[in-house]
Amino acid sequence: GQQLNQSPQSMFIQEGEDVSMNCTSSSIFNTWLWYKQDPGEGPVLLIALYKAGELTSNGRLTAQFGITRKDSFLNISASIPSDVGIYFCAGHNRSGNQFYFGTGTSLTVIP
Amino acid sequence: GAVVSQHPSRVICKSGTSVKIECRSLDFQATTMFWYRQFPKKSLMLMATSNEGSKATYEQGVEKDKFLINHASLTLSTLTVTSAHPEDSSFYICSARDLAVSYEQYFGPGTRLTVT
C-alpha cells in the first residue's frame, strides 16, 4: 500500500530544543493524524487535523495540515526526555477506509 | 475515552500451533477495526480491515487462510495466526474506529508474538 514520506528519519536533540518534522504524500488527504509510539507499545494519537491550512496545538505540540493537502507538519517546543519515541503521521481520504502511515521519525532527546 | 485493549500482550508459541489475539474497544463501538504488523524500527504494515458483521478485507500479500480475522461484535475483533512459523514472529497491533463519531483511529497496546 501507499506509504507517506516522513522526514527526518531520526533526530538527536538536546533537551529544551524545538523539533520539527514533516510528512509528504503524492496523494491528497482529507485527514491527517499524528501519533507517538513508545517502544513495545501501540501508537498514541497526538493530534488530528481535518481542514487544509488548519493549525492545531496540544500542549507543546503543534501540527499543521498543509494547504496543498499533500503534507503535514509537527512541531514540538521545548523538548523534554519523555518526548523520546517514534512519531508517525497518517493520512486518510474519506473515499476509502484505510489510513496510510508515514515511515516514522525517531526522536532522541539528550538530557 | 477511546481506549482499545489487546490480549495477550506477549505470547510465545511453538511452531505449528495457532495463536489467537483479541482486540477490544472498551468505551466505544468500533465499526471498523484494523490489524497491523510491525517489524523492528519499521512503520506499521496494514494486514487487513474488518467491518463488524462482514468479512475482512486483506491487503495484497497477506494470506487470509493464515491470518484469520473475525469481527464478531462492535467491540471485539480477533486475529488468529494459524500454524505459526518463526517468520510470523512480530509485533501485531490492532486499531479501532467509530465512523459515526470521527475518522480518528485508536490503537491497542500491541501483542508481541514469538514463534519458536
Q: Give the pLDDT confidence score for residue A94 in this predicted structure.
A: 75
> Are B93 and A43 a contacting pair at CB < 8 A?
yes
> Are A103 and B104 a contacting pair at CB < 8 A?
no
pLDDT (tens, 9 = 90+) of chain A, 111 residues, equals 567 999 999 999 999 999 999 999 998 999 999 999 999 999 999 999 999 999 999 999 999 999 999 999 999 999 999 999 999 999 988 777 778 899 999 999 999
Q: Which three cell numbers stand for residue B27?
A: 468505551
Those residues of chain A whose CB sits closer than 8 Å to some CB in chain B are: 1, 3, 30-31, 33, 35, 40-45, 48, 50, 88, 90, 92, 94, 97-99, 101-104, 106
Of the partner residues A30, A99, A104, the one whose CB lies closest to the CB of residue B105: A99
Of the partner residues A42, A50, A103, the one whose CB lies closest to the CB of residue B43: A103
Rounded CA-CA distance B96/B29 in Å is 9
Confidence class of residue B53 from pLDDT cuts 50, 70 and 90? confident
Coil, strand or helix at B2: coil
Residue B101 pLDDT > 90? no
Rounded CA-CA distance A92/B103 in Å is 8
Give the closest-approach CA distance of B109 to chain A in angstroms: 4
Judge contact between B95 and B36, C-beta under 8 A.
yes
Q: How far is CA B7 from CA A35, A41, A77, B21, B100, in A?
A: 22, 13, 35, 6, 26
Whether B35 and chain A come into contact, CB under 8 Å, resolves to no
By CB neighbour count within 10 A (0-12 exposed, 13-18 middle, 19+ buried), where does A47 fall? buried
Give the closest-approach CA distance of A59 to chain B in angstroms: 19
Give the closest-approach CA distance of A77 to chain B in angstroms: 24
CB contacts, 8 Å: A1 with chain B: 46, 59-60
